[in-house]
């Protein structure tokens, strides 16, 4: 049961069920995410289109999300325009990674604008 302890409300996920009116609510999936078990890549909304970006590696996700929203938007716009200009659905992008260079593999998943972004080419 949700308890009000000044100034915050306290409770567990089960306490949110009466308030979870969205048809997308799925208690099992929410619990799985917080347990740290996941079926797919990490996903975040793209700063430019709002479509999903999928990340396989936690470190890459952390570095990506350390960029400001406007910077992410500008980078994604450049990535998408370069891929469209060359009519490809994949971009192998060299980036500074600490004191070395690494390749980030970017793949358009579908024509809907979702991208898969990862460090390993497999």
3-state SS, 12-29, equals CHHHHHHHCCCCCCCHHH
Q: What's the pLDDT score for residue 87?
A: 93
pTM of the model: 0.74
How far is 87 from 2, CA to CA, in rounded Å? 53
Q: Tell me what the mean pLDDT of segment 72-90 comes to.
A: 94
Pick 46 or 14 by higher pLDDT: 46
Query: What distances in angstroms separate CA 117 from CA 59, 98, 121, one per listed residue?
Result: 12, 18, 10
CA angle 98, 34, 15 (to 5 degrees): 145
Contact 75, 91 (CB under 8 A): no
pLDDT at 96 over 70: yes
pLDDT tens digits for 35-77?
Answer: 776 656 788 999 999 999 999 888 999 999 999 999 999 999 9
């Amino acid at each position: 049961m949700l308890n009000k302890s000044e100034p915050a409300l306290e409770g567990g996920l089960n306490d949110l069920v009466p308030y979870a009116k969205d048809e997308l609510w799925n208690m099992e999936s929410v619990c799985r995410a917080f347990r740290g078990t996941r079926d797919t890549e990490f996903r975040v909304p793209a700063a430019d289109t709002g479509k999903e970006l999928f990340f396989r590696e936690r470190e890459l996700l952390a570095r990506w999300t350390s960029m400001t929203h406007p910077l992410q938007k500008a980078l994604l716009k450049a990535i998408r325009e370069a891929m469209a200009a060359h009519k490809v659905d994949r971009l192998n992008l060299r980036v500074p990674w600490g004191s070395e260079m690494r390749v980030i593999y970017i793949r358009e998943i579908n024509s809907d604008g979702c991208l898969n972004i990862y460090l390993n080419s497999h």
